[in-house]
Amino acid sequence: MLRTLMCARSGLTTAVKLFRPQQSIQPAHSKTIPPTFSLVRHYANLPSSKQSPKSASEEEKAKDDLDKKRKILELEMEVMRQEGRKVPTPAKIKESNWEHLLGLESRNQRRHYYLYLWNIEMAKESQRVKKEQRKLEVAKRREELDLANADNDHIIYGLFHNTMFLRIYDSTMDHFHNNKLVQAMRFGQNLVFDCSYDSYMNEKEMRNTAKQLMLCFGINRLHNEPFNVHHCNADFRSSTMVSLRKHLAQMDEPAFPINVTERSYLDLFPKERLVYLTPHCKNDLNEFSPDDVYIVGAMVDKSSQEAISLGKAKKLGLRMARLPLDRYFQFKSGKSLTLDQMLLILLELKGSNDFERALEHVPKRKIVPVDEQQQEQEQRFRERKQMGKFKFSAGSFHSERKFKKRY
């Protein structure tokens, strides 16, 4: 049995290597063309935007190769399951996960992704079992209540019986919150998320950006006075918009209250009303103006801390501002805030125009507490006082040397 598994593993490794794209080998006498200089930033894990069109035969051949590789991966998962490893069920893997899985080259990467998919499958199975148990408990409780009240001919009030209150369903609350967003589209203050930074982020950062945009939609939706949020400069083929569409499945419906457009904010609003919020500028936002349209860059910049939003605002000639964080806090680490934290701060400023209350949404883990600041100041004062004991003037030192020479 062990020999059979080892032979199958070696055969799978050889088969997967055969389907990897091979580099074209140029002859020695051919001249290499020097690469042209480009100012566009490229990433190795981003899809290339310049792709040559494929013929129908090439597409069919590529599809057949992917089907063969998919069968090989299914066989690999079966072998790993026989070895006792945690792998998902191939029939339950989504097409998007298959696309990512087929793009992985090394066996170690696939093994980690198998474990990730297995954890998701087990979590869904656990939720399904708990849901069935809750249904059985509710049915059992209803039967017990019916048996207890079988001999009672009077009207019974309570759960599963008559009541004077109307039940509020989740769909009713959804309609209520969506109506607030519709009212904000007509009468609310505008807020812009600039979604033009996809070329500066890798795949993971774009997915994280989409998750933060989804959280922003939920926070704004639950607020009593929400913003009229515009997602401008959106590329619907990018990973950010594809991931956002997964989080908000109704985003493409006409009646869904969300503004996503490929147009620029310069085409939607007057230029004199636009204010770009960037942490790299030197102008503090001293007062929140309800007449201005604030722009927040939809970007997760964990891999690079370049002042990209500052350069874009300067190039477009827009007003710039930053939150006065240094005036209220002493930071332990970086001052970068997520999109949902920025939205919470702006919602509080819109309602109260109080920066102390608004900046309470800054995470506590990033700032130094007041007690530690006082202890640090007292420590510096003691050190300064201790160093003051050893100070002496130059005149007293020279006079002491002259006195010693006389004797």
- Assign 368 a pLDDT band (cuts: 50, 70, 90): confident
Each residue's pLDDT tens digit, 134-175: 999 989 988 888 887 777 777 777 766 777 788 888 999 999
pLDDT of 20 over the 60 cut: no
Please compute the mean of the pLDDT values over residues 21-45 and round it to a whole number.
40
**Of residues 205 and 387, more confidently modeled:** 205
**Of residues 368 and 362, more confidently modeled:** 362
H helices of 269-354, where? 308-316, 339-352
- Per-residue confidence (pLDDT) for residue 49, from 0 to 100: 39
Nearest to 117 by CA among 157, 89, 78, 146: 89
**Of residues 391 and 168, more confidently modeled:** 168
Domain-wise residue ranges, the chain? 60-137, 170-366
Each residue's pLDDT tens digit, 34-47: 443 333 333 333 33
Task: Give residue for tokens 């059992």.
Answer: 140
Query: Quick one: what percent of the chain has pLDDT higher than 90?
Result: 46
pLDDT of 283 over the 60 cut: yes
- Assign 13 a pLDDT band (cuts: 50, 70, 90): low
Write down the pTM of the prediction.
0.67
Return the structure tokens found at 239: 């990973």
Amino acid at residue number 187: F
Q: How far apart are CA 95 and CA 160, in angstroms?
A: 42
Q: What is the DSSP letter of 292?
A: S
Q: How is 155-166 classified by DSSP, letter by letter?
A: --BSTTSB-SS-
pLDDT of 241 over the 60 cut: yes
Q: Are 10 and 75 in contact (CB under 8 A)?
A: no
Q: Domain 170-366: state its class.
A: alpha beta
C-alpha pair distances (Å), 250 with each of 69, 118, 256, 287: 34, 28, 6, 36
Taking residue 296's Cβ as centre, other Cβ atoms within 10 Å add up to 20
Q: Are 268 and 228 in contact (CB under 8 A)?
A: no
Q: What is the DSSP letter of 53?
A: P
- Residue partners of 180: CB distance under 8 A and separation at least 6: 221, 223, 224, 226
C-alpha pair distances (Å), 259 with each of 179, 219, 353: 15, 15, 26
Q: What is the CA radius of gyration of the chain?
A: 32
Q: At what angle do helices 56-82 and 95-103 cross, to 10 degrees?
A: 90
- Per-residue confidence (pLDDT) for residue 306, from 0 to 100: 79
Partnered with residue 277 across adjacent β-strands are 296, 321
Please compute the mean of the pLDDT values over residues 304-310 and round it to a whole number.
81
Each residue's pLDDT tens digit, 79-126: 999 999 999 999 999 888 888 888 888 889 999 999 999 999 999 999
